[in-house]
């Protein structure tokens, strides 16, 4: 792309103002960090931030979120700056969204969830991701859909109105939306069933899932460990699907490694719900690698978000390892010491610079051997019943028919293998 083209593209980008509210426990510092993240989201969605507005509030205004005077001032400022987009870091209620539409026809006033959904629409590539995103978007829109809104949507384009679902939304009323939602749900059940068949085949392997905040470097870890070319971008939600790769750690240890969609603070509830089938690989994993960006000052918040989403998915108590990625970015030792205190079992690595990857692989192997054990057993030809019972819930790695009986090498959880041994030694 030439500089000229790049300038033109830049020129086409919409301008946005961000709004954050200092309220309750949230300090000004926290709000600024949140707005920093919101700015990254806006950039990923293809718009430029030209201003930030914050207001300290003891009470949220049900009509405009911020005070009415402040809301009018905000619209005025946006008009002056030629801004077409105002984005609240907090979720706006359907009523608040409608009230803003009464204040301005030209400027779109949206919230963080709408923006995240918009990015998901842009980044969805596979049929599954597209279906899931559309479902989440329609469910989010349903209570917010009004005549006036659809009328406005028709005139506006760009961020926040991008039509994956938008086209349908313009044409149809709520009832039609509900029909579409029902259809998408059926479609997802079908996709889910297909995934089930695939995942049954994967059951015999040790499955490791990469999870983490968006942009933490999950796909880079995947690339470094598997050696495969995967999609890596310095933007939020580059990955929306699940990729699974068979990785041979050494002669005795092979794992199935999966990389999937990242998490974010206040991720819209509908999104997590509709991405359940994509996230199945996480739910079924034997080991979860929680990949964190060690250079982020919001690392504790990120960790909390990840734990919350894992809990929601029913994977809160899975075996896990904390991976502190991007340590090449840490400038002072103090920071590393702090991280070591905060995450005593964390494994510091740099996926991009290939630093300490061996240590990570060793830790994975340790977890594997803790969970899995291989043992060899010989069954006499009279022990047909015992032999059949022993094969339940384990993997038969080898089977040899010898003179005195059948020799089998079995692999399974430590508990299961010990159980077989003691039943045979009785
Ligand atoms: N400095 C540094 N940058 C890294 C490292 N690992 C990844 N990155 C960069 O971080 C950015 C995000 O990396 P990805 O691997 O796409 O992150 P992800 O977690 O898969 O992100 P999403 O799929 O968008 O959720 C890219 O620009 C990477 O080059 C690292 O160890 N050090
Ligand atoms: Mg990724």
Q: Per residue in 125-134, pLDDT tens?
A: 888 889 999 9
Please state which of the ranges 108-117, 225-234, 397-406 shows the lowest mean pLDDT: 225-234
- Location of each CATH 3.40.50.300 domain in the chain: 203-355
First to last CA, the chain: 74
What DSSP designation does 93 have?
P
Higher pLDDT among residues 89 and 235, named by residue: 89
What would the pLDDT profile of 311-342 be if each residue is shown by its tens digit?
A: 989 899 999 999 999 999 998 788 889 999 99
Predicted local distance difference test score (pLDDT) of residue 115? 92
- Return the CATH superfamily for domain 203-355: P-loop containing nucleotide triphosphate hydrolases (3.40.50.300)
What is the chain's percent helix, strand, coil content, to nearest 5? 50, 20, 30
Entry pTM: 0.80
For ligand 1, the distance from its centroid to the CA atom of residue 239, given in whole angstroms, is: 11
What would the pLDDT profile of 377-400 be if each residue is shown by its tens digit?
A: 999 999 999 998 888 767 778 889
Predicted local distance difference test score (pLDDT) of residue 47? 93
Ramachandran angles phi, psi of 396, nearest 5°: -90, 110
Please determine, for residue 155, whether its predicted confidence score (pLDDT) is greater than 60.
no
Q: Are 89 and 112 in contact (CB under 8 A)?
A: yes
Pocket of ligand 1, candidates 119, 232, 328, 330: which has the most ligand atoms within 8 Å of its Cβ, to mutate? 232
Ligand 1 site, residue 331, Cβ cutoff 6 A: no
Ligand 1 site, residue 326, Cβ cutoff 6 A: yes
Pocket of ligand 1, candidates 43, 125, 215: which has the most ligand atoms within 8 Å of its Cβ, to mutate? 215
- Location of each CATH 3.40.50.11060 domain in the chain: 3-116
Indicate which residue's Cα is closest to atom 17 of ligand 1. 217
Determine whether 101 is exposed, middle or buried from the number of CB atoms within 10 Å of its CB (0-12, 13-18, 19+): middle
- Location of each CATH 3.30.70 domain in the chain: 372-424
Predicted local distance difference test score (pLDDT) of residue 5? 52
What would the pLDDT profile of 181-220 be if each residue is shown by its tens digit?
A: 999 999 999 988 887 777 666 666 788 999 999 999 999 9
Secondary-structure class of domain 3-116 per CATH:
alpha beta
Determine whether 244 is exposed, middle or buried from the number of CB atoms within 10 Å of its CB (0-12, 13-18, 19+): buried
| Cβ within 8 Å of residue 109, ≥6 positions away | 86, 87, 88, 92, 97, 100, 101
Whole-number Å distance between alpha carbons of 310 and 36: 25
| Cβ within 8 Å of residue 131, ≥6 positions away | 184, 187, 188, 191
The architecture of the domain spanning 372-424 is 2-Layer Sandwich (3.30)
């Amino acid at each position: 792309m030439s500089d000229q083209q790049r300038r033109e593209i830049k020129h086409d980008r919409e301008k946005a103002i961000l709004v954050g509210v200092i309220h309750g426990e949230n300090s000004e510092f926290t709000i600024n960090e949140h707005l920093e993240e919101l700015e990254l989201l806006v950039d990923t969605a293809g718009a430029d931030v030209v201003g930030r507005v914050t207001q300290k509030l003891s009470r949220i205004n049900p009509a405009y979120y911020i005070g009415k005077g402040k809301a009018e001032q905000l619209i005025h400022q946006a008009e002056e700056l030629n801004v077409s987009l105002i984005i609240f870091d907090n979720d706006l209620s359907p009523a608040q969204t409608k009230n803003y539409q009464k204040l301005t026809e030209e400027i779109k006033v949206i919230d963080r969830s709408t923006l995240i959904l918009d990015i998901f629409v842009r980044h969805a590539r596979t049929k599954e991701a597209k279906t899931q995103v559309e479902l989440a978007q329609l469910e989010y829109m349903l209570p917010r859909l009004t005549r006036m809104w659809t009328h406005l949507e028709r005139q506006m384009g760009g961020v926040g109105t991008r039509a994956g679902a938008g086209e349908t939304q313009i044409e149809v009323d709520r009832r039609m939306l509900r029909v579409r939602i029902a259809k998408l749900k059926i479609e997802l059940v079908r996709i889910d069933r297909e995934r089930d068949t695939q995942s049954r085949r994967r059951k015999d392997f040790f499955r490791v899932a990469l999870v983490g905040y968006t942009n933490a470097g999950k796909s880079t870890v995947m690339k470094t460990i598997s050696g495969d070319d995967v999609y890596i971008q310095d933007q939020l939600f580059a990955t929306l699907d699940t990729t699974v790769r068979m990785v041979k750690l050494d002669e005795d240890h092979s794992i199935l490694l999966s990389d999937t969609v990242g998490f974010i603070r206040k991720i819209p509830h509908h999104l997590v719900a509709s991405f359940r089938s994509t996230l199945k690989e996480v739910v079924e994993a034997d080991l979860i690698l929680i990949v964190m960006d060690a250079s982020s000052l919001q690392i504790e918040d990120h960790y909390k978000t990840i734990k919350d989403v894992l809990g929601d998915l029913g994977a809160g108590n899975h075996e896990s390892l904390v991976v502190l990625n991007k340590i090449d970015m840490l400038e002072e030792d103090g920071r590393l010491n702090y991280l070591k205190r905060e995450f005593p079992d964390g494994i510091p690595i740099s996926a991009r610079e290939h630093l300490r990857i061996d240590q990570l692989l060793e830790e994975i192997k340790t977890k594997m051997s803790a969970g899995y054990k291989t043992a060899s057993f010989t069954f006499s030809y009279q022990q047909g019943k015992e032999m059949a019972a022993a094969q339940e819930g384990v993997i038969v790695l080898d089977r040899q028919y010898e003179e005195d009986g059948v020799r089998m090498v079995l692999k399974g959880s430590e508990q299961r293998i010990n159980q077989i041994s003691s039943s045979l030694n009785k």
